[in-house]
Amino acid sequence: MKYIFRFILIFFFVLPEVSFAEWEDEKTLSWDKVEVNAHLSSNGTLSVEEIQSIRFNGDWRGPYRHYDFKRGQSIDLISVEKLGKDKIWRILDEGDTETKDRYSFSNKKELKIRSREDNDPPFQDEVLTYRIKLEYRNILTKHEEKGAYEINHDFLARDRKDSIRKFQLNLNWDKEWEHPKGRKDFHFESSKPLVPSEFYVYSSEFFFLPEKNGTWTGPGPSYFLENWYNTDEMVFWKRAAIVIVSHVFCFLLFYLLSFTFLRWKSKKLNLSPKDVLSYLRKNSAESIAIQFDLKKVSSVFLGRLVAEGKIQIHQAGGLVEFVLLVSKDSLTKSEKEILDKLFVDSDRTTDVEIKKYYKKKHGYFSLHSEVYSRYSKEANSFESKFFSRWLLFSLILFPLVNFIFYGYPIFLHILVPYAFILFAYMILSFVFSIFDWVPLSNLKLNNQKDYFLKRSLRLPELITGVLLLLITYNLFEIENSFALFLSAFLFMFFFYYIPVASEIDDQWLVFVKKKLKDAIKDYIQNGDLSELSGKDSMDFVALGLYNEILKRHKEKNDASHLLVLSGIGSIEIENEGRKQKRSSRIKTSSVDSGSSASEKSFSGGGGTSAGGGASVSWDTLDGLSEFSAGSRPTSSGSSSSRSGSSSSSSSGGGSMGGW
């Protein structure tokens, strides 16, 4: 066993070092000479020509050059040329670096030149010479107190792993610039090789003569504006402050627009009888009860089935008897699923038999939960109609404001890539918002605790943020990528978590519900009820407006086809503690139902879909609203969760090597 262990140690630690050492000896890169010719124009642009003679050994694909510059500065690549064996310069084409003698300049920072195909033999002490022409903009710094412009530029790449045998710099400037010592140009040539840690920064002040002499009439030279958002000393918490400010502004703006929208809609929203009929046709009595926060949705469910002649309910001798009058195949899917759990053995049963059955089976049945869970999705469609305003804000308003407050100043010189990222964010946000909107809304209806937890986590939006982080990693510095990721995540957190957003949503729904209920009440009082049938009667029970039907029939005697309730003192579904108080509000007698006022019965004999004379007291239905059998399942357990850079005062520099 010990020999095996030794073999593993040798294999993983000794052999790799030997092979890597040999590989490093075979693959080397150095610069025979780097010559830089630079010119400072009167408009402040620094034109640079780099001539690099690079000695390759090994299977290098070619050289690369990374340029560093501050935010607010920019660089334009003019051309890349290669010196041929005939001593003639040839311009290379930009494009796919999978092809030899092509180059890529990604993000206006990293230049890659392809010098060798993968199937070509490795370089053997081969020297390739390239000429790179480019222009730096906004590299000067202006000192207002002196009236001078300062250049502080690194003409080499300090981040490199190989030496430069000879370095030469030739710098000159236009006649509009005056050097403090009267120089017309500058020349430097190294006397010894430059090791990887050595670089060359030229720093000097210049006076712009037209400005100094008072003859300046044009725009003058461009210079780097040292301000709060593009300094190298700007740390992450400052960027985070920008993000927070943008989010607060977004949220306050949305809050203001939402309430302005509500006030405007309160005057503009007028529902016609056609709207009322459309709503009643598209929504079942159960979903209406859920939408209007009535607790007795199961009572409405049983009452509707009795009115439609599908079941009978009798109460006698302390028992409540249920009788199924139709084949289960004729029931809707939701009705069948619920009645399968109610009629467990036959088409006739009692409340006592149901309880014995679930006790024996160690199961649990809750009529309210069964009805609520199956009709909540239908009820949720009422709320989902107003999802578009949330989507509109998420996809348009936030990216726009966030771009103005955060993206524009930081990514001033690369607006196109940042616009692409915003577009990607909008697409991803749209996809994931659609993905999780319905499940979260259902949780809101069924389980407030789970809804709170899942809505605060917002896993799909977190995935969006991670994807944004991956997208931006190669485009910008890592701290900017992290700031952008934090921006997207904080927005999702603020927007979906802060109670104010939920308050706006709730107020809007309450407003719409009130308008709708008022419109339906007005329709009952003044509309043409002949278009309705007995099937619609339970809609008014669910809305708590059945007494309005009784009033309408008493006044105009034209609503008999909607009267399926007999002798009810009050049919509005109330909590147990309020029932006695409200029962004295309206006293009515039996109307076209053949029952006495004292019966307080719900009958199928007064409508077009009668249940064969079946009747049940409303008090019985009210009591059955909380009917359950067996022991409620319990669960236990809980879970919880807790939740070297360097900078330079000069422009230019960067890194270079092979790839």
End position of a domain, from candidates 449, 480, 505: 505
Is residue 640 included in any domain, yes or no?
no
Is residue 556 included in any domain, yes or no?
yes
Residue 358's nearest CA partner among 345, 371, 374 is 345
What's the mean pLDDT in 121-143? 91
Same domain as 115, residue 212: yes
Residue 622's nearest CA partner among 384, 161, 359, 294 is 294
Amino acid at 348: R
Query: pLDDT above 70 covers what percent of the chain?
Result: 53
Same domain as 241, residue 205: no
Per-residue pLDDT, 188: 94
For every residue of 269-285, which 3-state class applies, written as one string? CCCCHHHHHHHHHHCCH
- CA–CA separation, 107 and 417 (whole Å): 8
For every residue of 432-468, which 3-state class applies, written as one string? HHHHHHHHHHHHHHHCHHHHHHHHHHCHHHHHHHHHH
| pLDDT tens-digit map of 77-129 | 999 999 999 999 999 999 888 889 999 887 677 899 999 898 899 999 999 99
Same domain as 622, residue 501: no
CATH of the domain at 193: 2.60.40.1730
Number of C-beta neighbours around residue 272 at 10 A? 11
More confident residue, 485 or 164: 164
Query: How far are the Cα atoms of 52, 240, 256, 257, 371 from residue 251, in angstroms, in the given order?
Result: 53, 16, 9, 10, 38
Residue 427 region, left (φ>0) first, then alpha (ψ -120 to 50), else beta?
Answer: alpha
Is residue 424 included in any domain, yes or no?
yes
DSSP structure string for 292-329: TT-S-HHHHHHHHHHHTTSEEEEEETTEEEEEE-S-GG
Is residue 647 included in any domain, yes or no?
no
End position of a domain, from candidates 226, 248, 282: 226
Amino acid at 161: K
Is residue 638 included in any domain, yes or no?
no
Is residue 200 included in any domain, yes or no?
yes
Is residue 567 included in any domain, yes or no?
yes
Same domain as 29, residue 83: yes
Same domain as 192, residue 109: yes
pLDDT exceeds 50 at position 506: yes
Domain count along the chain? 3
Same domain as 155, residue 134: yes
3-state DSSP call for residue 360?
helix
Residue 529 CA to its chain's centroid (Å): 47
Q: Report the predicted TM-score, pTM, of the whole model to 2 decimal places.
A: 0.42
- CA–CA separation, 223 and 48 (whole Å): 17
Same domain as 102, residue 51: yes
Same domain as 483, residue 516: no
Same domain as 171, residue 46: yes
Query: Which DSSP symbol is given to 12?
Result: I
Same domain as 190, residue 110: yes
Q: Which residues contact 332 (CB under 8 A, 6 or more apart)?
A: none
Same domain as 149, residue 30: yes
Q: Kindly state the helix (H) or strand (E) to which residue 143 belongs, with its residue range.
A: strand 141-143
Same domain as 278, residue 155: no
- CA–CA separation, 646 and 99 (whole Å): 35
- CA–CA separation, 445 and 249 (whole Å): 31
Residue 50's nearest CA partner among 112, 134, 110, 117 is 134
Is residue 6 included in any domain, yes or no?
no
| Most distant CA atoms of the chain, gap in Å | 118
End position of a domain, from candidates 459, 476, 505: 505
Domain that holds residue 395: 236-264+383-505
Q: Which two tokens stand for residue 37?
A: 């010719």
Per-residue pLDDT, 258: 63
Per-residue pLDDT, 647: 38
145 pLDDT band, cuts 50/70/90, is confident
| pLDDT tens-digit map of 432-448 | 444 444 444 444 444 44
